[in-house]
Each structure stands twice: as C-alpha cells, then as structure tokens.
Amino acid sequence: MTTVMTDPLPTAPRDPKANRLGLVLKEYQGAESTLCAGCGHDAITSSIVKAFFEMGVEPYRVAKLSGIGCSSKTTNYFMGQAHGINSVHGRMAAVATGASLANRVLVSIGISGDGDTASIGLSHFLHMVRRNVPIIYVIENNGCYGLTKGQFSATADRGSVKKGGLVVNQSLPIDCCALAIQMGCGFVARTFSGDTKQVRTLLKAAIAYRGTAVLDIVSPCVTFNNHEGSTKSVAYARENEDPLHEIGFVPHYEQITVEYDSGTTKVVEMPDGSTITLSKLDHDYDSHDRIRALALLDKAREELLFYTGLIYYNGAMAPLDQQMNLVDEPLATLPESRVRPSRETLAEIMESFQ
C-alpha cells in the first residue's frame, strides 16, 4: 500500500464550473477550427483545452508554438488569450528553444505533425529533446501530410495502404518515441486522439513536468488516411489500441490522500509534488526502464502493435534553462541596468586592447 499525500493547501474554486483560478472552460478555448469535420487533431485540441483548464494554468503564461500543417494550425484553436506562433515548416522545435530561454516563466506547448517533426524537422526535434527544452511537445501523428493532401509521411507504417488502395508504404516508419528516448527524453508517451481520457491525463502530467515531454498522439486524418488498410485510421486505432496501463494523475495542489495497491499500481512522484499513477492492465510494464521501453517500441513497430500510455519517465534531468543557470526573471524583460555592463567595464575592456 502506498499513500500519496499532496499539497495540503488547495485553491478551491467558488464557481463550480470554474477552475482553481476562477476561470471557466471557455477562457481556455480559441478560434473556431477550420479542420475537416472529424479530424483527430480537433479532438486533441479539446483535450488540451480541458487539461489546461483543469490544471488551472494561467492562459497568459502559455506560449503556443507550431510549424506548418493541419496539426500546426491547431494552436490557433485553443487558449485564444495566449500568445501563439505558427512558424515555418519543421523549425518549431528550434523556435521553441529560443522562446523558452527568452522567457522562463512561459509554459510552452508545441504542436507539430508527423511531417513537421519526423521529416523536415527531425534534426531540430532531436536536438531539442537532447537539450531538454522545457516544453510539452505534441506530435499529432496521422501518418501522412494532411495539409498537402495525404502523401505518406515518415511515420507511416510499413505495409500501410494509401488512399485509393494502389500504393503500399515500403519504408520503415520513424518512431518518434524511440528516438526521443534515445536522445535522453524523460517524458515519452504515446496515445490516441480518440482516447480522450488518456490524452488529457498525459497532458496534465506533462504540464506538471519540466523538461521536454514528448506526446506522440495518433490522430487520424479522416480525409486522406482513414480508409481500410491504413494503420492510422480511426477504426484501426480504436481496434488496436492496447494501453500499457491505466493512467491517473494527481496535481501537487490537490489535497487528496489516495491509497493504491502497490502490486497493481505504480506511483511516480514528480519533482513538483504531483503524482502519476500507473495501474496494471494486461501488461506488466515498467516506465522507468529505458531499454525495456526501446524493446517494446521495437516490437510494436515490427508487429504493428499500438501500445499507448507513458512509455518512459525519468524526472532527473534538469531542463535547459536550469542547465544554463539563468536568472529567475525572464531575459526578455530584464531592465537596462542588468543587460548593459557599465561605462567602467567598457573602459576596462578597451584598456585590454591597448
């Protein structure tokens, strides 16, 4: 039996519909989506809205970052009060690196597509992970390039059939989770846009995490990759989703004491005091074992299995801003006195060149 005690001082909201900041769900919404009706990305958008709402993150503190693609457009569809940047194709990871260092207090969420991340943006994605840039990095993975009309992306499974039924993908898919683990990522999850509960829970845990949290979310493109033979269709995902565990999350500010059966539930304590619980389903999976995670993903890729859940967790690594030992205040708004050395310093330097 493990007992989880969390932060004893909750901020209980008055309005039953409001969160701990007194904000209502609507304040976490954004512009109306222009995606195709039924697109998996819209489901993820809803989950994001709810997760941030439920976690009580101040919208103004959020930075929404994206590249280009249907997925990348979605940053416009949630948290309209937050600043967003829809940058260029494939470079969001690097843009986010700059933004998050410029302002440490930002809660960064990056939304990317499988094309944006695994093709044109692959190198930046990997280097971002390696640096442990503090960001929730969501890959809305539909195995294709939605916005350019359905070409296979690098995450399309081997044997996946293209719309029209004539072309079969021969290439090995790139597994962004496996690569993230390889680059030292401490928070790696795979999930399915339609499994809204799991998505939301993972997002909440990712909000509590500081460092790069990679969420590879299978998110069907209902227009171009939702047919028979696609391994990223709604039907395929629904039928094949195989959760590694049932995930629960208790934020640090919630005063609850829960008892878990340590035989069936693993409890992950996060540095900020929040807790992730992983309750056993069919598998006996340990999210702390990097090699096991890689083996699982390898198997999944070979046998076209669709495991979901928290693939790997390790809270030990310092995020980039801490590695760099930045001042507490945002660099962006430091006053002149702190960013321009003195007249005397200049004189001293000038002398060294005489």
Tokens of 235: 């039907």
Is 11 or 264 the residue whose CB approaches other proteins more closely? Answer: 11
Residues numbered 91 to 150 that lie near Mg ion (CB under 5 A) are 113-115, 142
**Residue 59's closest CA among 12, 9, 111, 109?**
109
> Binder to ligand SF4 among 55, 63, 65, 70 (CB under 6 A)?
70
**Minimum distance of ligand SF4 from residue 68's CB (angstroms):** 12
Beta bridge partners of 107: 62
- Give yes or no for residue 308 binding ligand SF4 (CB under 6 A): no
Run of H or E including 73: helix 70-73
Q: How far is the CA of 240 from the CAs of 175, 181, 218, 220, 308, in angstroms?
A: 17, 23, 12, 13, 10
Cα separation of 140 and 121, whole Å? 14
- Give yes or no for residue 35 binding ligand SF4 (CB under 6 A): yes
Residues numbered 170 to 199 that lie near other proteins (CB under 8 A) are none
- Give yes or no for residue 323 binding a second copy (CB under 8 A): yes
Is 236 or 285 the residue whose CB approaches ligand TPP more closely? Answer: 236
Residue 353's identity, in one-letter code, is: F
> Binder to a second copy among 25, 122, 281, 304 (CB under 8 A)?
122
**Minimum distance of ligand TPP from residue 212's CB (angstroms):** 18
Q: How far is the CA of 66 from the CAs of 16, 85, 87, 180, 244, in angstroms?
A: 33, 6, 6, 18, 29
Cα separation of 106 and 256, whole Å? 28
The residues that touch a second copy, with contacts defined as CB under 8 A, are: 119-123, 126-127, 130-131, 154, 170-172, 174-175, 178-179, 182-184, 290-291, 294-295, 298, 323
The residues that touch ligand SF4, with contacts defined as CB under 6 A, are: 35-36, 39, 41, 70, 142, 146-147, 221-224
